[in-house]
Amino acid sequence: MSQIANRDFKLDAGRLVIVSNRLPISINQVDDGEWEISPSSGGLVTALTPVLRDSGGIWLGWPGKLDSGNLDELLAKGSKGTGYSLRSVILTEEDINLYYFGFSNEVLWPLFHDLQSRCNFNPSYWQSYQQVNSKFAEAILHNSNHDDYIWVQDYHLMLVAKSLLAMGEERSMGFFSHIPFPSPDIFNKLPWRLQILKALLDYDMIGFQTMRDRNNFVHCAEMLIKGVQADTRRQISTVSLQGHETKVGVFPISIDFHDFSVAAAETTVKNRASELSNALPNCKIILGVDRLDYSKGIPEKLHAFEYALKRYESLHGRVTLIQIIVPSRVDIPEYVNLKSEIEGLVSRINGKYAQAGWIPVNYMFRNLDRAELLAYYRAAHIALVTPLKDGMNLVAKEYCAANTDREGILILSEFAGAAAQLHRNALMVNPYDTEGVANTIYHAYQMPEKERQLRMKRLRGSIARRDIYWWVNLFLRTSETMEISDLSKSGLN
Ligand code: ADQ
């Protein structure tokens, strides 16, 4: 499929309504007390914009600030020129504490990443989760028509279709899970497992990142709900309950490959990448870029790097790990503790191994602008992407897209969703295996140029073929296609 063909999907009828916890904007108060709105620029927004614009669509979500002046005026300003409108779902401080920080981030996030010991199954979180999902359903009701297609994003909003039905209303509704879906052994621990599963089956279509997640979901449904019938013989499975059929498919999310690749090739990025390399003479750069989160396996990665330095003395003065961390959820004590743990490890490694002119770990805790991030990607000889579990992991794909010199090496956790697509040409590791990761770092360090180039060429080809436009189109086309077998030609395997 060509880049252009990828971009021109149109809905058959109605508007596209995207529903997500957060609107794709940020609202900030400027010095004179005025509120300012700026659009978010992620790949998802870019890819959805053409379909939203063509269908006169709507994006619905929490605007992110509890008190931001004249909100409607601000939102109108924020969507000016985009061709679609922004509509807010107003949440209270209590909603944010219980539904967002509580149920979403202390129950669903750890459980769905197989870290059940980190869960706090507080019943008041569940109450709030139900109430907030109803608020979103009400907002859909007020802002959409019967022929609109409602596409709900992610684990914060699993009950929205059910809540809408409870209001006596029906819409065509799809749900995409950006995070993994756990196996029955783990999912069974959730006190509200039945309510969640049944609510998911009120959607007309559910998309998962990988086959692993789709199979886990279908197994959970079969095991826990009496009367469920699943047909998994086709690429898009169906799960039926009491006369309602839900399509369940695999739609691995991606990035705007072309855009990343072109931006990384710009002279300013190239020059900045050279500056970064020149600042570390005779050193190969190993790069880690992660959001601050325990699922990303950052301490485990540092342990493995330390082990590599202990085991392979020839790496001393020859490799530097640049670990960039984007601040996230810093209001949750667990994340503050994680930050301290990481900083302790960085200082221990540097204390032990640094020499005049060489610091083993360069650590940054901040957001980087896009050009700077691209320069780091370009300068890195090796990307070390080792989440303990991840829905997809876009950093792995961004690194390859930005690797315009086509010589970099991707070391990738087998527990990242991206592994399903990239495992043949990345160096695969188990992030819990300190020795294995250390050996792989050394192997990557020594890899001959020809092999590096061949692997990177294949990685880039695979990501370019299945970019974010491919993902949006495939999801929406599948949601409209009644004839499931048509999909066999879509490249979804
Ligand atoms: P995330 O857990 O946020 O997303 P990921 O896919 O890795 O994880 O995306 C992180 C994004 O943050 C990347 O686009 C990266 O460029 C950006 N980023 C990281 N560090 C940065 C920094 N210091 N400065 C600026 N930007 C930085 C969830 C799931 C993932 C899934 C995505 C999309 O957890 O598994 O891939 O959604 O579905």
Question: What is the mean predicted confidence (pLDDT) over 387-394?
Answer: 97
Any atom of ligand 1 within 6 Å of the Cβ of 418: no
Same domain? For 205 and 294 the reply is no
Same domain? For 88 and 115 the reply is yes
CA 451 to ligand 1 centroid distance, Å? 28
- Could you tell me which residue, 182 or 66, shows the higher pLDDT? 182
Overall domain count for the chain: 2
Same domain? For 21 and 130 the reply is yes
Residue 192 has pLDDT above 90, yes or no: yes
Same domain? For 452 and 325 the reply is yes
Same domain? For 197 and 290 the reply is no
d(CA 335, CA 328): 8
Residue 432 has pLDDT above 60, yes or no: yes
Is 6 domain-assigned?
A: no
What pLDDT, in 10s, does the model give residues 220-239? 999 999 999 999 988 899 99
The percentage of the chain sitting over the pLDDT mark of 70, rounded to a whole number, equals: 95
Burial 38-49 (b: 16+ CB within 10 A, else e): ebeeebbbbbbb
Is 1 domain-assigned?
A: no
Report the nearest atom of ligand 1 relative to the CA of 396: 7
Same domain? For 211 and 102 the reply is yes
Any atom of ligand 1 within 6 Å of the Cβ of 178: yes
Any atom of ligand 1 within 6 Å of the Cβ of 381: no
Same domain? For 273 and 417 the reply is yes
Q: How confident is the model at residue 329 (pLDDT cuts 50, 70, 90)?
A: confident
Any atom of ligand 1 within 6 Å of the Cβ of 444: no
Same domain? For 323 and 239 the reply is no
Q: How confident is the model at residue 490 (pLDDT cuts 50, 70, 90)?
A: very low
Please answer whether residues 489 and 29 qualify as being in contact, where contact means their C-beta atoms are separated by less than 8 angstroms: no
Q: What is the pLDDT of residue 1?
A: 34
Is 7 domain-assigned?
A: no
pTM above 0.75, yes or no: yes
Is 269 domain-assigned?
A: yes
DSSP state of 70: S
Residue 181 has pLDDT above 70, yes or no: yes
Q: What is the pLDDT of residue 486?
A: 43
Residues with a catalytic annotation lie at 178, 390
Is 5 domain-assigned?
A: no
Report the nearest atom of ligand 1 relative to the CA of 391: 35
DSSP state of 118: G
Same domain? For 319 and 173 the reply is no
Is 93 domain-assigned?
A: yes
Domain extent at residue 93? 12-254+469-485
Any atom of ligand 1 within 6 Å of the Cβ of 285: no
Same domain? For 247 and 301 the reply is no
Detail the DSSP E strand segments found in 23-65: 25-29, 35-39, 58-62
N- to C-terminal Cα distance for the chain? 15
CA-wise closest residue to 391 among 418, 368, 359, 364: 418
CA 257 to ligand 1 centroid distance, Å? 15
Same domain? For 234 and 261 the reply is no
Question: What is the mean predicted confidence (pLDDT) over 203-213?
Answer: 97
Alpha carbon nearest to ligand 1 atom 16, residue: 395
What pLDDT, in 10s, does the model give residues 103-156? 999 999 999 999 999 999 999 999 999 999 999 999 999 999 999 999 999 999
Same domain? For 337 and 248 the reply is no
CA 301 to ligand 1 centroid distance, Å? 17
Q: What is the pLDDT of residue 6?
A: 52
Q: What is the pLDDT of residue 45?
A: 85
CA 492 to ligand 1 centroid distance, Å? 23
Is 248 domain-assigned?
A: yes
Q: Classify residue 356 as exposed, middle or buried by CB count within 10 Å of its CB (0-12, 13-18, 19+).
A: exposed
What pLDDT, in 10s, does the model give residues 41-83? 777 887 888 889 888 999 999 998 766 668 888 899 888 888 8
Q: What is the pLDDT of residue 8?
A: 60
Is 490 domain-assigned?
A: no
> What CATH code is carried by the domain that includes residue 29?
3.40.50.2000
Any atom of ligand 1 within 6 Å of the Cβ of 273: no
User: How high is the mean pLDDT of the chain?
Assistant: 93
Residue 493 has pLDDT above 60, yes or no: no
